[in-house]
Amino acid sequence: MAIDSLASMGVPKPTSNNEWALYRLPDELVIPTGTRIQKHGYGCRFKNEQVYVDFDFGELGEINGFDCWRLNDFCRDNLKTKYGFDSQKDLERAFEDACLANELVYSGYILWYDHTNYGQNSEA
């Protein structure tokens, strides 16, 4: 959804996080569906009444990287009801456990990837 929204506005998918950081966009865009898009550093934020997604592009333009802060931010008010975590602490503990079990691969800079698709360029 996110990448398709950018493409529909003529914004190319970057081949790296550095390319994205140098790409010039207005501070905030609103696409016809009402979704607000805000570019920041290596990433962007998509927000409407149903969706809130914030992600950074990876070193090779990947969009399937995440960190614990972004997971918590994404889950927000649905932490318990939709995702089964009693608290932010529980989410953090599960994230740490996944790291220790080598289920997540660290990129070397901020982002983590599911070990089963590390290096793939999945859609957001």
Q: What is the pTM of this model?
A: 0.81
Give the angle subtended at the CA of 122 by the CAs of 119 and 124, to the nearest 5°.
135
The reported pLDDT for the residue numbered 120 is 60
**Helix 88-100 with 68-75: angle, nearest 10 deg:** 140
pLDDT digits (tens, 9 = 90+) for 67-87: 999 999 888 888 999 999 999
